[in-house]
Structure 1
């Protein structure tokens, strides 16, 4: 792909979007599959698609650690990236922050809530008060299972917002589960290094 300043947008896909649907979408818009990494227990599955000129790109990722599938789009800033985002939203089931916050609150099983929690950090690119409140509820709520808290912690690394540092610090120092505290410390170190 050609090196230049590109805008980047990450979009969380609904869990019901199959890998084959993503591929079919990019084939429909005449993009080319440039690489494929099968992934492993520790590494996510990834496909890299680009337009025929090799300028715009889409990175499709299945991160089974937290049960999320998402796209990271790269294109020229302005109308080019906006157009690409619009095409993806029209062609695939993309979640926004309201979708995910509602899903977190309405999840009826532990597994469903953990998967919803895993999507929170992907739901919006910039700090969103509803998403931050949902993180706070999932990470500091008294009746939240440790599986859900760990999924929310890993998801918070995708967001990497300074606005979550206080919540992450509180979890790292006072969560009742030793493993959750350790995950919170790792996430907090990681997001601070990435800024």
Structure 2
């Protein structure tokens, strides 16, 4: 087989692999079929024509575990909508969910996207491993290692895309069309579960759409 034919064949194989490994998850359909388990939250449809769901605010962290979807390593793409409400908008995705209280998560603080103080800018995006490594513990004991500034932050009141690359020992986070990661961390646990879910923090609501998983 000549080089040209080999190249074409390889391209076709790679396209087939990418198509096979990609899973588009309709959050609204999952909710309608009772396939999202709400933990410490109520979840409802958001918007009339969008494939979007909304989690309400409660005085503790909440998860919406997608019960019939598996994800261990690869790419998580999701669009998020928080708000510019200081201390009241924490929104992201949880993965490696071992039970209702034990999981890893990447989340954002949209109200810090427009912060003027450098100390607040440095708290735009966060990794946690609950319940052992909360944001408070990490900030105190490992200052600056598990949260970071986004140099070109989104509008806090608009939808934005998060792309989370979960590897065996590391997590990299990208935002919108930025080519460089906004956060790179060493995971604080091993992959122990294939459960994944949407997440909001203390006193925070959030809206989610266009979830795509690539393994």
Query: TM-score w.r.t. structure 2 length?
Result: 0.23
Between Structure 1 and Structure 2, which shows a larger proportion of helix residues?
1
Between Structure 1 and Structure 2, which shows a larger proportion of strand residues?
2
Query: TM-score w.r.t. structure 1 length?
Result: 0.25
